[in-house]
Chain A
Amino acid sequence: MKDLAERVMRGEQRAIARLITHAENSSPIAAEAMGRLHSSSGRAQVIGITGVMGAGKSTLIAEIAMEYRRKGRTVGIIAIDPTSPFSGGALLGDRIRMMSITSDPEIFIRSMGTRGMLGGLTGAVYDVVEILDAAGKDVIIVETVGVGQAEVDIIKIADTTVVVTVPGLGDSIQAFKAGIMEIADIFVVNKADRPGFERIMAELSSMVEISHMPGERGVPIVPTVAKEQEGVSELVDEIDAHQAFLKQSTAFEEHRRRRYEAELVEIVRKRLMNLIFDESVFKERIEKLVERIYAKETDPYSAAQEILTTVLK
Chain B
Amino acid sequence: MEGKIRVLVAKPGLDGHDRGAKVVARALRDAGMEVIYTGLHQTAEMIVNTALQEDVDVVGLSLLSGAHMTLFRDVTKILKERDMIDVLVVGGGIIPEEDVPGLKEAGVNGVFGPGTPLEDIVTFIKENVKR
Contacts and interface: CB of A to CB of B under 8 A. Distances in A.
Q: Do A and B bind each other?
A: yes
A108 B55 CA distance: 12
Q: Chain A: interface secondary structure?
A: mixed
Interface stretch (B36-44, B67-75, B98-106): B36-44
Nearest to A17: B55
A26 B39 contact: no
Interface size class of B (residues with CB under 8 A): 20 to 34
A288 interface: no
Nearest to A20: B55
B65 interface: no
A110 interface: yes
B45 A92 contact: no
Contacts of A27: 1
A25 B34 contact: no
A108 B4 CA distance: 21
A18 B46 CA distance: 19
Nearest to A84: B29
A13 interface: yes
B33 A89 contact: yes
Interface size class of A (residues with CB under 8 A): 20 to 34
A156 B57 CA distance: 31
Interface stretch (A95-103, A194-202, A208-216, A236-244): A95-103
Contacts of B29: 84, 87, 89-91
Interface in B67-99: 82
Interface string B1-23: 11110100000000000000000
A74 to B, nearest CB: 14
Given A90-B34, A103-B45, A103-B46, A17 B26 contact: no
Nearest to B6: A21
Contacts of B3: 21, 25
Contacts of A89: 4, 28-35
Contacts of B32: 87-89
Contacts of B28: 89
Contacts of B54: 17, 110-111
A57 interface: no
Contact of A113 (B34, B42, B55): B34
B52 interface: yes
A92 B35 contact: yes
A14 interface: yes
A99 B46 CA distance: 9
Interface in A27-61: 27
Contact of B2 (A13, A99, A115): A115
B2 A25 contact: yes
B108 interface: no
A148 interface: no
Nearest to A86: B30
9 contacts: A13-B53, A17-B52, A91-B35, A92-B34, A92-B35, A99-B46, A102-B38, A102-B46, A102-B49
Interface of B: 1-4, 6, 25-26, 28-39, 41-42, 45-46, 49-50, 52-55, 82
Interface of A: 13-14, 16-18, 20-21, 24-27, 83-84, 86-93, 95-96, 99, 102-103, 108-111, 113, 115
Given A25-B1, A87-B31, A89-B31, 11 more contacts: A14-B82, A17-B53, A17-B54, A91-B25, A91-B26, A92-B36, A95-B36, A95-B37, A99-B46, A102-B49, A102-B50
